[in-house]
Amino acid sequence: MSLDDLHLNLRNLTPDDYPQLQTLMDRVYDDIGGAWPKPTIDKLINEFPDGQIVIEDDQTIVGVALTALVDYDTFSNPHRYDDLIGKRETILNEPDGDAMYGLDVLIHPDYRGYRLGRRLYEARKELCRSMNLRAILAGGRIPQYHEHAHELSPAEYLDKVARKEIHDPILSFQLANDFQVKRLLRKYLPEDEKSQGYATLLEWNNILFEPAERVLENRPTQVRVGAVQWQMREFDSVEAVLQQVEYFVDALSDYKSDFAIFPELFNAPLMGLQDRAAQQDQMAAIRFLAGFTERFKTELSRMAVSYNINIIAGSMIEMGEDDLLYNIAYLCHRDGTIERQAKLHITPQERRDWVIEGGDELLVFQTDAGRVGIQICYDVEFPELSRLLADQEMDILFVPFWTDTKNGYLRVRHCAQARAIENECYVVLCGSVGNVPSVENMEIQYAQSSVFSPSDFAFPHDAVLSETTPNTEMIMFSDLDLTRLTVVRAEGSVTNLKDRRKDLFDLRWRDWSWKSGADLEES
- Residue ending a domain, among 154, 175, 205, is 205
Residue 468 DSSP code: P
> Is there a catalytic annotation at residue 256?
no
- Identify the sign of the CA torsion 362, 268, 263, 295: positive
Helical H segments across 232-357, by residue range:
238-254, 276-279, 282-290, 293-306, 348-349
Q: Are residues 153 and 244 in the same domain?
A: no
3: pLDDT strictly greater than 90: no
377 is catalytic: yes
Residue 62, SS3 per DSSP:
strand
What distances in angstroms separate CA 153 from CA 145, 146, 343, one per listed residue?
9, 11, 57
135 and 59 in a common domain? yes
Which structural domain range is residue 286 located in? 222-496
pLDDT at residue 2 greater than cutoff 80 = no
519: buried, middle or exposed (CB in 10 Å: 19+, 13-18, 0-12)?
middle
- Per-residue model confidence (pLDDT) at position 71: 94
Q: What is the pLDDT of residues 93-133, one digit of tens each?
A: 999 999 999 998 999 998 888 889 989 999 999 999 999 99
Inform me whether the pLDDT recorded for 47 exceeds 90.
yes
Confidence of residue 251 (pLDDT cuts 50, 70, 90): very high
Instruction: Indicate the residue type of 81.
Output: Y
Report the percentage of the chain scoring pLDDT > 70: 93
Q: Decide the pairing of beta strands 316-319 and 474-481.
A: unpaired
Residue 344, classed as helix, strand or coil, is coil
pLDDT band at residue 225, thresholds of 50, 70 and 90?
Answer: very high
CATH code at position 75: 3.40.630.30
Contacts of 59 (CB under 8 A, 6+ apart): none
Catalytic residue among 43, 128, 203, 264: 264
Considering 143, 172, 205, which residue would you say is the last residue of a domain?
205
- 103 belongs to a structural domain: yes
Domain match, 190 and 102 both: yes
The single residue of 43, 128, 299, 377 carrying the catalytic annotation is 377
pTM recorded for the entire structure: 0.79
Query: Domain check: are 251 and 333 in the same one?
Result: yes
Give, for 340, the enclosing helix (H) or strand (E).
strand 338-342
Is residue 520 included in any domain, yes or no? no
CA 501-504-510 angle, to 5 degrees, is 100
Apex 201 CA angle, 15 and 488, nearest 5 = 90
Judge whether 522 lies within some domain: no
Residues in a beta bridge with 180: 203
Task: Write down the H helix ranges in 255-333.
Answer: 276-279, 282-290, 293-306
Same domain assignment for residues 416 and 300: yes
Instruction: Answer yes or no: do 332 and 472 share one domain.
Output: yes
* Predicted local distance difference test score (pLDDT) of residue 279: 58
- Residue 328 belongs to a domain with what CATH number? 3.60.110.10
The helix (H) or strand (E) run that includes residue 9 is strand 8-12
Same domain flag for 100 and 154: yes
Q: What pLDDT was estimated at residue 366?
A: 94
| Least confidently predicted of 2-16, 46-60, 477-491 | 2-16
Looking at the fold, whether 88 and 151 belong to one and the same domain comes out as yes
DSSP states of 110-164: GGTTS-HHHHHHHHHHHHHHHTT-SEEEEEEE-TTGGGTTTT--HHHHHHHHHTT
Residues 170 and 230 in one domain: no
Question: Whole-angstrom Cα distance, residue 487 to residue 485?
Answer: 5
**Chain-centre distance of CA 198, in angstroms?**
37
**HSE, side-chain direction, 13 A CA sphere, residue 438:** 16
Q: 98: part of which helix (H) or strand (E)?
A: none
- Can you say whether residue 485 is alpha, beta or left, with left for phi > 0 and alpha for psi between -120 and 50 degrees? alpha
* Residue 151 among the catalytic residues: no
In a shared domain, residues 200 and 253: no
Query: In terms of domains, do 331 and 384 share one?
Result: yes
Query: Would you tell me how many other CB atoms lie within 10 Å of the CB of residue 8?
Result: 14
Confidence of residue 216 (pLDDT cuts 50, 70, 90): very low
Q: One of 299, 332, 339, 343 is an active-site residue; which one? A: 343
- Is the pLDDT at 512 greater than 90, yes or no? no
107, part of any domain: yes
Tally of structural domains, the chain:
2
pLDDT in tens, 359-401: 999 999 999 999 999 999 999 999 999 999 999 999 999 999 9
Give residue 522's pLDDT.
Answer: 40
Looking at the fold, whether 271 and 419 belong to one and the same domain comes out as yes
519 lies in some domain: no
How far apart are alpha carbons 239 and 296 in whole angstroms? 10
Is residue 248 situated within a structural domain?
yes
514 occurs within a structural domain: no
C-alpha span between 119 and 62 (Å, rounded): 12
CB 280 within 8 Å of CB 440: yes
1 lies in some domain: no
pLDDT tens sequence across 341-363: 999 999 998 998 889 999 999 99
- Among 174, 205, 236, the domain-final residue is 205
